[in-house]
Homo-oligomer: A and B are copies of this chain.
């Protein structure tokens, strides 16, 4: 699978570990940065990842920051992205099954490496259930809000 991954400075080390692990698992991984330890703003990398997944360049995305919260908000600004910030693999499965999530967000300062891998594995392996969930996901794709804040 073609997977884009991005983070902020707080999640640089976890990004490297997960990118290597995904490549070893046979995936085509696009690391969108950052590439050094300088401080960055998570929205910049969240938007970069959102563009990659939202445009279809990547099938799935992995978004990382200190808590996973900031970057998940940024990714969800893109109407074609459905980003789930999770701490456990059941949530990761449900995000696929019910919400057809195409991006997973994890908090590098809160989650251990093995749980992060378990979440991503569930996220990559679980199929969208469709059915009654389809029209709901469709509603997420056509947001009703304008570009500018109210």
Residues of chain A touching chain B, judged by Cβ–Cβ distance below 8 Å, are 39, 41-44, 47, 50-51, 54-56, 66-67, 69-70, 72-74, 76-80, 82-88, 90-91, 94-95, 98-99, 101, 107, 110, 132, 135-136, 139-150
Contacts and interface: CB of A to CB of B under 8 A. Distances in A.
Q: Which of A51, A55, A135, A140 has the most CB of B within 10 A?
A: A140
A140 B54 contact: no
Given A69-B94, A84-B85, A94-B69, A41 B135 contact: yes
Contact of A67 (B55, B70, B91, B146): B91
A136 B41 contact: yes
Q: Which of A69, A82, A84, A139 has the most CB of B within 10 A?
A: A69
